[in-house]
Amino acid sequence: MLKGDNGMATTDLYIKNMVCPRCIKVVTGILNAHHLQVAGVELGKATVKGTPEPQQLQAIAEALDKEGFALIDDKKQQLVAGIKSIVIEKVHHSDLDEMKENFSSLLAGKLHKDYHYLSNLFSELEGTTIEQYIIQQKIERVKELLVYNELSLSEISYKLGYSSVAHLSAQFKKVTGLTPSKFKQLKAPERISIDKL
């Protein structure tokens, strides 16, 4: 429990599978429907004023579950959810020109933990590395940008922080089995839902 700006105690609720601004809206609606004072909601976390009662938390967990979310009470799972939320926010919902920051510094700074610890924890619980998770997210973003056809591959490469178009193309082919140009030629290109990565 933390103290909010007005001195009132707040509680952080960690929520799995929040991947977009619409998720924030749905979660806010669920919390309001359960008569909680919402202090703030971001990807992966909601802050409410006061301390919810156990039966209130159970009802919220059930309501979240119906919408495809999950309330997380394990501290390690909360950190992993935090890592995923930060990566998704950065790759899918921030200005692409901001992609120059090093993810290890970003994650360590935002989560107030040593990156080596975060990396080991993520690998242990997810069975993949943070780096692989970032690559998967970036490739999904590349697919999205290719489908929209608003940017050249060179612009996409630069905006997503790749060292070159060749590096992006090689990584894209390794993950999808296709070159970016072949992917673009598909009639109904296959995309993966962010929460499934």
Backbone φ and ψ of 37, nearest 5°: -85, 115
First to last CA, the chain: 31
pLDDT at 2: 45
Type of residue at 165: V
Tell me the whole-structure pTM to 2 decimals.
0.74
pLDDT at 196: 60
CATH class of 76-196: mainly alpha
Report the alpha-carbon distance of residue 122 to residue 32 in Å, rounded. Answer: 32
pLDDT at 163: 86
Q: For the chain, which residues make up each domain, given as ranges? A: 2-73, 76-196
Higher pLDDT, 169 or 96: 169
* Chain centre distance of CA 161: 18
Report residue 7's pLDDT band, with 50, 70 and 90 as the boundaries: low
Report residue 3's pLDDT band, with 50, 70 and 90 as the boundaries: very low
- Considering the four listed CATH numbers 3.30.70.100, 3.40.50.11540, 3.40.50.300, 3.30.70.1450, the one that applies to the domain covering 2-73 is 3.30.70.100
Instruction: Count Cβ atoms within 10 A of the Cβ of residue 1 and give its class: 0-12 exposed, 13-18 middle, 19 or more buried.
Output: exposed
Q: What is the pLDDT of residues 76-114, one digit of tens each?
A: 998 999 999 999 988 988 776 656 668 899 999 999 999
Report the alpha-carbon distance of residue 101 to residue 37 in Å, rounded. Answer: 34
Q: What is the pLDDT of residues 49-82, one digit of tens each?
A: 998 888 998 999 999 999 999 998 888 998 999 9
Percent of the chain with pLDDT over 90: 52
pLDDT at 161: 85
Report the alpha-carbon distance of residue 175 to residue 136 in Å, rounded. Answer: 8
Q: What is the pLDDT of residues 103-156, one digit of tens each?
A: 899 999 999 999 999 999 999 999 999 999 999 999 999 999 998 888 899 999
Beta bridge partners of 180: none
pLDDT at 185: 83
Q: Which DSSP state fits 20?
A: S
pLDDT at 40: 93
Beta bridge partners of 10: 2, 49
Report the alpha-carbon distance of residue 1 to residue 21 in Å, rounded. Answer: 25
Report the alpha-carbon distance of residue 98 to residue 52 in Å, rounded. Answer: 37
Given a cut of 80, whether residue 6 has pLDDT beyond it is no
- Per the document, the length of the chain is 197
Do the domains spanning 2-73 and 76-196 agree at the CATH topology level?
no
CA dihedral sign, ordered 128, 69, 92, 80 = negative
Angle at 88 between CA 30 and CA 51, to 5 degrees: 35
Report residue 4's pLDDT band, with 50, 70 and 90 as the boundaries: very low
Report residue 1's pLDDT band, with 50, 70 and 90 as the boundaries: very low
DSSP 23-72: HHHHHHHHHHHTT--EEEEETTEEEEES---HHHHHHHHHHHHHTT-EEE
